[in-house]
Structure 1
């Protein structure tokens, strides 16, 4: 049985393995690793396990399960396995740093994880860390996207899963990707008035997706996708080929202006839900110092990891959508591989046992990934939906920085997004760039005529999540704790006036 931890005071000083995130990959990693006798702590911000994909599935009613579909219901099996495992579970916990353990320095516990729980912060030592932080919805900046009555599709799905809340007025969905149609079908089953689905998927994407169609046809995605599309087309209006959109309203969303070629139309509505696909949640991985690359197919940055999830930082692995968008089933298999590798590294299983289990999981992972190439090419977001053409469009919602302001700064010759951040404060708000980072980098790359990978991403340092003064005051006054929060420690003895 799992041990529920409600306060940082109750955390052990050290664990063999700390897993961050209780989605499919984190849950599967915890189950696999604990089965080999490893002391495991799984820390997650949410009230219950499941992540975004399986959010609140353990307490969903039969009506909820019917509305959300069989893929959502499948999460119950994984959560039951997790609840029966021998490990520690810290719900409502915030992980704000991962780094080297400066206190030991002897390799006993090479890593340290900053965790806040119950209003108290603690640095916890670990042999290994698995980051299973999932994905974020890609920004979709266009004129009017910040006005009341406009929200992301993911946010609407969270409300539906966690609280049973659904829109009461005329609802419009706009964007691209499978989740757009999945949410539309879930809302329609819940009796919501979905008056239109506006698809911004570029028509030319078919040309790049066709070479991968046979793999997709042989995958589980094909039949599910066809059923989903048929259901949505049968029950509401679908407008394809939209090249631009604009939210219209006087202080409140009242209509979506849709541009197709040279023709435009206004669709009246009360709520607009947006989705342009998802991208790996990099913040904690980058703050830990993990290497990353620009993935042109995803149009996003992702961590550089091997097949078992190992990153460039010794002892730190990354699994699931946090390492690259792979879906729930593949995420679980990646989590299992990362948990299995941790058991090998900690000498809890032999090389022979490891290789046999690894080969089994690798085959399952390959099957789960079948069809992903088609999906990635087919639903790659249009450049105009990723980088706003209108200079008045807000890019950074936290600091209200417009695309025009970023272009002005780019014209000054700033070499990268970190310098742009210093000039404009874009990326300095509470979200730490999660809502503007990709847009800002691609916009700067466009202005300079280079690939986003040449510019890199924001330089992120701990704490990557807000930490209260009370939590900081509760930290043990050690050099490691100071480094975890500030990134450095000043030594008076080393100052020039002391010499």
Structure 2
């Protein structure tokens, strides 16, 4: 495993070491292409298989078979001949397939003949009153702590939201002896009827039995409230209580920890900054890149694999990674592609892995009040901009997210729009009577991750480097 890139140029650079990135790197390197995989975490696995090589949890039943399946794929990538660098922050990517990356306090530019973006997903923003209070976290953050350090909550804990990850996290916390006082299910009742036409495919998929088992496991030990239509957190500088409305009744619970989750969405910042075309997905209610069947984007040489290409889950991500890497091998080393599985077989495996996904996407489409808040609910955490601030800005002339920057600085903080971008797009679309596609998204530029000025100062001092920074 490297600490600095050994070359200036690679056949393939894979960004991200989650399921898609590991599979892509193993495939490309295994076919003889010079392959570099860059990842900002301390070890392989991404979020789904976080800590796969280092987790202190050794009881395989706690994290489940799906988690441990990542060990074999991580081992394959590490043994493939791919150069792997962890704690590497990729902060720029341009149409010339040149990447800006920071490693160990210094930055460098590296070129590739093909780039596979496998940066995965982000948790969808869940803007409710009080969501910025200390004591309120996302389910993903809690799961990161669980996988990497074996930490689980021991105080009064409420989990609120919807989606497979919510139930998986609850089960894992309980298996490790953690405390959960209540689960507040925000799945809209109408979604159950909308999802019915897709139920058969779901029931014949791997998701069905696993999901049903996890829900039964949690419900046997924790009170579950369904049909939650309002949710807020309160406290004086620290979370003290959670209030919710379900079945026409409001209840307030004294709470030390609130874990929020309403699904995941593609992490699009790097791809958007590189100029990749995106569209608004009306089912998943997020931005997704426009790709061909093999993951190729609108920018020549850039492919996207895994959940960054559209939410499909870990197993689908693996097959997408292999498909994108096979396409790179076919383009760069046609003689080597005969040794790889056929495209037909790979696409067949992907189709099986995605079976039942339409049911999940329909059932767990988040309710409007939890996506498009009102009043003084904070939308942009970095600049403390409220939903009403956004609506007021539209009233005086802001036409889209980029114009809103001039009015309120939304999207200009450390998160660079990751925690407010979708909310801002939908808020402005509603206020202007337009579609999210018409409203658009933030115009993203390098650096797409916060980096130190000292890291930029460490770049090679030559004309090409200066031009690259100016061009970014």
Q: Shorter chain as normaliser: what TM range?
A: over 0.9
Match of 1:204 in 2: 190
Q: CA deviation at 1:413?
A: 3.0
Q: CA deviation at 1:66?
A: 2.3
Counterpart-to-counterpart distance in 2, 1:243 and 1:482: 53
Match of 2:349 in 1: 364
- Extract unaligned runs of 5+ from structure 1: 102-110, 489-499
8 Å CA contact 1:97–1:484 kept in 2: the answer is no
Closer, same or farther: CA 422–482 of 1 in aligned 2, 3 Å:
farther
Q: Is 1:155 equivalent to 2:141 in the alignment? A: yes
Match of 1:283 in 2: 269
Q: CA deviation at 1:479?
A: 4.6
Deviations 1:44-68 (A, max 9, x none): 0000000000011122356453211
Counterpart-to-counterpart distance in 1, 2:70 and 2:347: 21
Match of 1:398 in 2: 382
Q: Is 1:346 equivalent to 2:369 in the alignment? A: no
8 Å CA contact 1:99–1:484 kept in 2: the answer is no
Counterpart-to-counterpart distance in 1, 2:50 and 2:146: 10
Match of 2:243 in 1: 257
Larger radius of gyration: 1
SS at match of 1:395: strand
Counterpart-to-counterpart distance in 1, 2:122 and 2:469: 24
8 Å CA contact 1:36–1:348 kept in 2: the answer is no
Counterpart-to-counterpart distance in 1, 2:67 and 2:48: 7
Say which of 320, 325, 331 aligns to 1:334.
320
Counterpart-to-counterpart distance in 2, 1:482 and 1:325: 37
Say which of 310, 317, 322 aligns to 1:324.
310
8 Å CA contact 1:461–1:487 kept in 2: the answer is no
Deviations 1:251-284 (A, max 9, x none): 2112110112542001222100000100000000
Deviations 1:85-143 (A, max 9, x none): 11101100000011134xxxxxxxxx211111111111001100000000000010111
Q: CA deviation at 1:326?
A: 0.5
Please give the residue correspondences for 1:14-33 in structure 2 after superposition, counting only pairs within 5 Å.
14-33=9-28
SS at match of 2:342: helix
Counterpart-to-counterpart distance in 2, 1:155 and 1:375: 22
Closer, same or farther: CA 385–39 of 1 in aligned 2, 3 Å:
same
Please give the residue correspondences for 1:37-116 in structure 2 after superposition, counting only pairs within 5 Å.
37-61=32-56, 63-101=58-96, 111-116=97-102
SS at match of 2:181: strand
Q: CA deviation at 1:166?
A: 1.5
Match of 1:459 in 2: 443
Counterpart-to-counterpart distance in 1, 2:400 and 2:75: 46
Deviations 1:162-188 (A, max 9, x none): 111211211100011111111011111
Deviations 1:434-480 (A, max 9, x none): 00000011000010111101111110011111222221112123454
Q: Is 1:385 equivalent to 2:380 in the alignment? A: no
Show structure 1 runs of 4+ deviating over 4 A. Answer: 350-354
Counterpart-to-counterpart distance in 1, 2:7 and 2:93: 17
Counterpart-to-counterpart distance in 2, 1:449 and 1:346: 47
Counterpart-to-counterpart distance in 2, 1:230 and 1:157: 20
SS at match of 1:454: helix
Counterpart-to-counterpart distance in 2, 1:479 and 1:388: 48
Say which of 118, 124, 132 aligns to 1:146.
132
Q: Which stretch shifts more, 261-270 or 197-206?
A: 261-270
Counterpart-to-counterpart distance in 2, 1:350 and 1:58: 31
Deviations 1:356-405 (A, max 9, x none): 6211100100000000000000011001100112x111111111111111
Say which of 156, 162, 166 aligns to 1:170.
156
Closer, same or farther: CA 245–218 of 1 in aligned 2, 3 Å:
same
Counterpart-to-counterpart distance in 2, 1:165 and 1:480: 47
8 Å CA contact 2:376–2:387 kept in 1: the answer is yes
8 Å CA contact 2:329–2:336 kept in 1: the answer is no
Match of 1:415 in 2: 399
- RMSD, matched Cα: 1.4
- Extract unaligned runs of 5+ from structure 2: none
Q: Is 1:485 equivalent to 2:469 in the alignment? A: yes
Q: Is 1:375 equivalent to 2:370 in the alignment? A: no
Q: CA deviation at 1:347?
A: 2.7
Q: Is 1:470 equivalent to 2:454 in the alignment? A: yes
SS at match of 1:123: strand
SS at match of 1:429: coil
